[in-house]
Amino acid sequence: MTSQVSSPKTVLITGASRGIGLLTAKSLLAEGYHVFAGMRAPDTRNRKAASELQELANTNRGKLTILDLDVASDESVERAVATALAYGPLDALVNNAGVMPVGITEAFTMTQIKDLFEVNVYGVARTARAVLPAMRQNGSGIIINLSSAAGRLSLPFFGIYCSSKWAMESYVETLNIELEGSGVEAVIVQPSAHRTDLVATSPAPNDTDRATAYGTMSEGGDRMLGMFQSAFDQNAEINDAQNVADAIKHLIEQDGPRPVRTVVGEDMGVDGINQAVAPFQNGLIDQLKTVYAPA
């Protein structure tokens, strides 16, 4: 039997038109949440996803507000968050929007690298900055940020993607430290490979001359993507993206403090890295507190 939340929570999701964002929106609507589903071009390119969510909201207790939201635009983010806050306090922000380029690292142009960071890193900072003043004033809230196993690993052909996730994780963890005592938390979800369209829509490097200079190595990115797709085709439960949506929902409903990092899916050694690093990170912060937050 599905349990309904006693008091409907309000959640803003970026990148809600597909993949984990869409699944999370559906899961929360089914539980009676007020979901602010952020996506680009909801009246045109993403009309199907917007209609799908609206139909679900019409048949459930949940409430849906579609937001035209581009995390790469200051104006778009500020407008979307203002719309959401007009309904009242925001309980959670789910930073899901992201891009995963795959290929020879040198062959990605500076424009491609900047565009990637605009979404995967600066987009997270934009939305966090937009919601944090109201959350801090309200004394509660959680910002859940979708990273990846790549946020702890360095993988060939995923160089610029990994670096963007490493940067995002450092930003979020620092936010969480600075938010201590405010009632607001910033946490990270680290999924492994899950069945979404992220693999099928991975941008390739634009500098083909530099890519071909690597010879057969330049084919490695496509081979890696093929490996992931083959795993998805087996329909293993561990690759089900719904598991990530369920983990996000659990974090929203969990009483704090939440774990800074939550691994979902095939471990790939990431949980071990998290556990190994945590004592050193936490120990250093405890020492630094004697300087920046003396008792």
- Cα–Cα distance between 202 and 100 in angstroms, integer? 5
Catalytic, out of 9, 26, 33, 165 = 165
Domain 10-267 has CATH 3.40.640.10: no
Instruction: Look at residue 4 in the predicted model and tell me its pLDDT.
Output: 46
Residue type, 134: A
- Cα–Cα distance between 95 and 36 in angstroms, integer? 12
For the chain, residues with pLDDT lower than 50 are 1-5
Domain ranges within the chain, ordered by starting residue? 10-267
Catalytic, out of 17, 163, 202, 218 = 17
Q: Tens of pLDDT along 182-206?
A: 999 999 999 988 888 888 889 999 9
> Is-catalytic flag, 165?
yes
Per-residue b or e along 131-157, where b marks 16 or more CB atoms closer than 10 Å to that residue's CB:
bbebbeeeebbbbbbbbbbbbbbeeeb
Instruction: Look at residue 7 in the predicted model and tell me its pLDDT.
Output: 62
DSSP secondary structure, the chain, as one string: -PPPPSS--EEEESSTTSHHHHHHHHHHHHTT-EEEEEES-TTTTTHHHHHHHHHHHHTSS-EEEEEE--TT-HHHHHHHHHHHHTTS---EEEE-------S-GGGS-HHHHHHHHHHHTHHHHHHHHHHHHHHHHHT-EEEEEE--GGGT---TT-HHHHHHHHHHHHHHHHHHHHTTTTTEEEEEEEE-S-SSSTTTTPPPPS-HHHHHTTGGGGGHHHHHHHHHHHHHHTT-GGG-THHHHHHHHHHHHSPSSPPSEEEES--TTHHHHHHHHHHHHHHHHHHHHHHHS--
Best CA proximity match to 152, nearest among 136, 137, 165, 139: 165
Catalytic, out of 122, 147, 171, 202 = 147
pTM to 2 decimal places: 0.94
Residue 237, both tokens: 């439960």
Instruction: Look at residue 8 in the predicted model and tell me its pLDDT.
Output: 74
Catalytic, out of 161, 163, 218, 249 = 161
Instruction: Look at residue 6 in the predicted model and tell me its pLDDT.
Output: 53
Instruction: Look at residue 5 in the predicted model and tell me its pLDDT.
Output: 45
Pair type for strands 92-95 and 141-146: parallel
> Is-catalytic flag, 17?
yes
> Is-catalytic flag, 161?
yes
